[in-house]
Structure formats: C-alpha cells, structure tokens
Amino acid sequence: MSVQHLRRVIVSGTILGLGGIRTHLTLLCQLLRRQEIGVEVFATGVNWDSRSVASLEARGVKLNLPPAPIRRLRKPSALYARLAWPLLAPPDATSLYCIGAGRSHFLMHRLRPRGTVSINHEIVTPPGPDSLAGQCAERLDVSVANSSKVAERMREYWPQKPVRVIPFLTSDHPMTAPSRQRVGEESRLRVVFLGRLVAHKRPDQLVRRWQALSAHPLLASARLDVYGFDPDGNMLKELRAFVDESKLSEKVNLHGTYELNALPRILADSDMVVLPSLDEGLPLVLVEAMSRGVPFVATAAGGTEELNNPDVIVTSTKWEDFEAGLLALAGKIRAGEIDSRRLHQWAEARYGYATVSRRWLDCLLNPRKFFGLHD
C-alpha cells in the first residue's frame, strides 16, 4: 500500500479511557506513525498517566486536549472544545476515527475536512438509537465493531450504515510462540484477574468467593492476583479491607492499576486468566493472554464466546457456571491438557498483529474502498 499521498488521521476520543482503549489507541498511533501518517488526537479529557501521554507525543502525535485544570470539569471541557477545536482542526485528513461514545464526536464530524470519512468505533454495547450517543453514532459515515456480536446489534439499529468488524490491536509486533511447561499436580496455581474494577466485571464477587474456591482440591490453595484500575476508588478500598478482615492476604493480592509494560511479566507469572463479566465487547486482556499461551475461563458476555477454542473455557454468565468452568480449567491445567503453543497460534491467526494491523491500516487509510463507499 502506498502512503505517499495520505497525510493525516484525526482521532476523536472524548475521554481517553484506560484498559483496552489505552492499549489500542497507543498501538494504533504507533502503527500510523510508522507509516509516516500524521495523527492528531482530539479529546475533552484523559485518564491516562503522564508517561502514556508523553510516549505518544514523543512519536509525533499531536494531542489537542483542554488545559489540565479545565479537563477536570465536564462543562468547561465541552465549552473549550466548541471554542478551540474549530481553530485547531487540520485542513486535510483521510479519516476521522471516533472511538467509543461521546457527543464530541459529532463536533469533530462537523469540523472534519471535506472528503474525510468519519468512522464510529463501538467497543462494547451500541447506544440505543434514541440516546444522545446513539444519535451521534448515526450521523457518522460508517462503523467499526470489536466483535460480531456488537456488529449485529449495530446493524439492527442502523441497517443502512456500513459496519465492519476489527478487533483491538494487542501488540506492535507478531508474538513469538511461548515455551510454557504444564503445572505439576502439587503446584500452586496462579490465577489472575485483569480489568477495570467495576461491578459488571464482578472482581468483588470473585475475591469474596476465593476462600471457598481455593479450598477445592483442583485449585489447591491457589493464589488470586487482581490487577485493574478502580474508577470510583471504592471497590479496591473495600476489597482490601475484606482481605485483611478475612485473613486472605496469602491467597489474594490486590495490585490495583498496572502499567502497560508490566503486562508481559504479569502473564508470564500466570497459569490462567479469569473474567466473570456480565458485559463486554471483545475483551482485550483475553486476547493478550492467549497470545502468550495463557488459558482463560470467562463468561459469554458480548463477543467473548467468539474466543472459544480447545484451550480455554467460556461459560454462561451465571455465577455457578463460571465457578464450574474455573474448576474445570484448573483440572485441565493440572492434567497437562492445555497446549500453550496451539493456543498462541489460534490467537495470532485471528487477532495477531499481522492480521489486525493490516485491517486497521486499510480502514483508516483507504476507508472508501474498505467500507464500499461511493465517491
């Protein structure tokens, strides 16, 4: 693909969120910059740490954000966007990429240069057509969904709008096959939860059930490590108090927020990843785990069931089914039935860098052809 005539991609992020959004956007900007494509990000707020922001700026990504004091207040941030963005909007761009829901996407859609295709990227559940976010999504030219499940719902809402499925980016290079050894029958399993500490992902229920779960012979006093950002600041505090009161500190470690560069180490020290969520798009952490040969047990929320293969377990969203799946996966690991190389190859073929990065470049750099639009 020739990129010499392609100049710029505009990214509209509303609030730049953590978790999969931060990972994907960071990798996507890196991918575009390696192709010598200019990238300008417009957002009314950011939850990223200063290091993550600085890493993008160091690669030549232009960040158009309200000043820090204004970003903490919603209405002033929106007012800043309405006043400043018309002056900051670039004169040309191939595509306007809008990730997640947000009214500011519609503002950027109106400000986009002539001929620029506006792309709505929905990562979890599409907002209803009658909602403000849904009305914004309807106005954008085309849509991308993280999973087939999300795409189905989008087509129900907007049957005339072109929709394509592209997963999140999970790495900036092809992953090498892991060389993991099976856990011995007497070994202590290392179980990891990765994700935001929010009610619908149910990390609190997992921690509160761990005393009983880890008493089962298949888990053999397994250790649970919980990593994730707590947006409200309450769940982590309450769970730490529960662990102390229940004297679970030897079985449960609550780590809180983790840096992106820590993920390979975390997964290298894991025997399985767990995600008992009630609502998902296509969980990035599960793809990352599989790429490194780590099996998971997760509930069939959103597009998670699309990740089902012989080396993972996907259950219903009923809690008792998730617990049964957790014990079943522990048994498979102890019996040496998990093939980490096979798991890695399955994930790389469908969600690996070579496949996903090519689709994102086609989407953002040649959107009219990718979505079948007429000039």
Note the pLDDT tens digit of each residue in 188-238.
899 999 999 999 999 999 999 999 999 999 998 899 999 998 888 899 999
For residue 288, is it within any domain?
yes
Banded model confidence at residue 135, pLDDT cuts 50, 70, 90: confident
Tokens of 375: 């000039």
Q: Report pLDDT for 310.
A: 96
148 within domain boundaries: yes
Q: In whole angstroms, how far apart are CA 69 and each of 47, 72, 106, 370?
A: 14, 6, 24, 40
pLDDT number for residue 282 = 87
pLDDT score, position 2: 41
- What is the spatial distance between Cα 173 and Cα 190, in angstroms, rounded to a whole number? 27
- CA distance readout (Å), 22 to 12, 259, 276, 295, 305: 13, 11, 22, 23, 23
Which residue, 292, 304, 298, 284, is CA-closest to 267?
292
Residue 258 lies in a domain: yes
Please report the pLDDT score of residue 193 as a whole number.
98
Q: Is the pLDDT of residue 179 over 80?
A: no
Residue 35 or 20, more confident: 35
Token pair 């900036």: residue: 172
Amino acid at 174: P
Q: What pLDDT is attached to residue 341?
A: 93
292 lies in some domain = yes
Residues 6+ apart with CB under 8 A from 54: none
Instruction: Say whether both 294 and 367 belong to one domain.
Output: no
Same domain, 149 and 47: yes
Cβ-count burial 56-79 (b if 16+ within 10 Å, e if not): beeeebbbbbbeeebbeeeeebbe
Q: If you average pLDDT over every residue of the chain, what do you get?
A: 90
Q: For residue 65, what are the domain limits?
A: 8-170+353-371
In a shared domain, residues 45 and 94: yes
Considering the domain architecture, whether residues 198 and 345 belong to the same structural domain is answered as yes
Whether 203 and 96 map to the same domain: the answer is no
- pLDDT tens profile 35-78: 999 999 999 888 888 888 898 999 999 999 888 777 666 678 88
Q: Are 24 and 30 in contact (CB under 8 A)?
A: no
Tokens 């089962």, residue located: 216
| pLDDT given for residue 185 in this prediction | 60
Within a domain: residue 176?
no
Q: Which of 336, 304, 263, 309 is nearest to 19 (CA)?
A: 263
Residue 6 has pLDDT above 60, yes or no: no
pLDDT at 276 over 60: yes
pLDDT category at 5 given cuts 50, 70, 90 is very low
State the CATH number of the domain containing residue 41: 3.40.50.2000
Are 256 and 360 in a shared domain? no
Query: For the chain, how big is the Rg over CA atoms in Å?
Result: 21
Strands (E), the chain: 8-16, 38-46, 62-64, 95-99, 117-122, 142-145, 163-165, 190-194, 223-227, 252-256, 272-275, 296-299, 313-315
d(CA 95, CA 97): 6
Residue 182: what pLDDT?
56
Do 101 and 87 sit in the same domain of this protein?
yes
Q: Angle between the 132-139 and 104-111 helix axes, to the nearest 10 degrees? A: 20
Report the domain count for the chain.
2
- Asked if 194 and 266 touch (Cβ cutoff 8 Å), the reply is yes
pLDDT value of residue 74: 67
Question: 14 versus 98: which is more confidently predicted?
Answer: 98
Q: What is the pLDDT of residues 350-371, one digit of tens each?
A: 999 999 999 999 999 999 999 9
Q: Do 374 and 194 touch, CB atoms closer than 8 A?
A: no
Residue 50 lies in a domain: yes
Is 65 in a helix, a strand, or coil? coil
Instruction: Judge if 222 and 271 occupy the same domain.
Output: yes
Binned at pLDDT 50, 70 and 90, residue 134 comes out as: confident
Locate 118 and state its tokens: 């506006």
Question: Does pLDDT of 144 surpass 80?
Answer: yes
Beta strands in 276-319 (DSSP E): 296-299, 313-315
Q: Does residue 178 lie in a domain region?
A: no
At 231 the pLDDT is 84
Same domain flag for 165 and 76: yes
Read off the pLDDT of residues 315-354 as tens digits, 9 standing for 90 and up: 999 999 999 999 999 999 999 999 999 999 999 999 999 9
262 and 288 fall within a common domain: yes
- Cα–Cα distance between 29 and 296 in angstroms, integer? 29
If phi > 0 it is left, if psi is from -120 to 50 it is alpha, else beta; for residue 233 that is: left
3-state secondary structure of 254: strand
CB 365 within 8 A of CB 37: yes
Co-location of 126 and 221 in the same domain: no
Residue % of the chain over a pLDDT of 90: 65
